[in-house]
Amino acid sequence: MKVLSLFDGISCARVALDRSKHVVERYFASVIDKYAIQISRRNWSDIIHLGSVVDLDVTQPKFMDVELLIGGSPCQDLSIARGKAGRDGLKGERSGLFYEYIRILKEVKPKWFILENVASMSEESKNAITELMGVEPIMIDASLVSAQQRKRLFWT
């Protein structure tokens, strides 16, 4: 399977794919945090790091048969942790990177996609994402698989 992971972090999606016995032929990762990249490289030397999602040109032939697009754009402008005064939603500089996910989804046209973000976002932001994704989200609490209670929305 060819995978493109946006906002990849330390490549936790790769962990999930490996644990679920999916054979990963190629794993492209778009991430800019140098420490996350170091961890990812230490665990998987075959990951192809691409840099910033903003600069990503997915019209190149190597992306033509990507089967799975994964991502969770930054949540800082969506999260309730910011308080109402600091929540710029999808207009925010960081959370607005969600629109890069949409651009890439339209250009790559993968067989499958998964988008994840915080469940505490405003109804307005949730509705905007749902409309652009074309599917309703499901809510999953991370406490099902970890020691943390963190409610997340998944569009797939």
Which residue has tokens 């992971």?
5
* 75 included as an active-site residue: yes
Residue 154, C-beta contacts closer than 8 angstroms, at least 6 positions apart: 114, 115, 116, 137, 138, 139, 140
- DSSP element (H, E) containing 38: helix 34-43
SS3 133: helix
Considering 4, 6, 75, 129, which one is annotated as catalytic? 75
d(CA 112, CA 138): 16
Catalytically active residues are 75
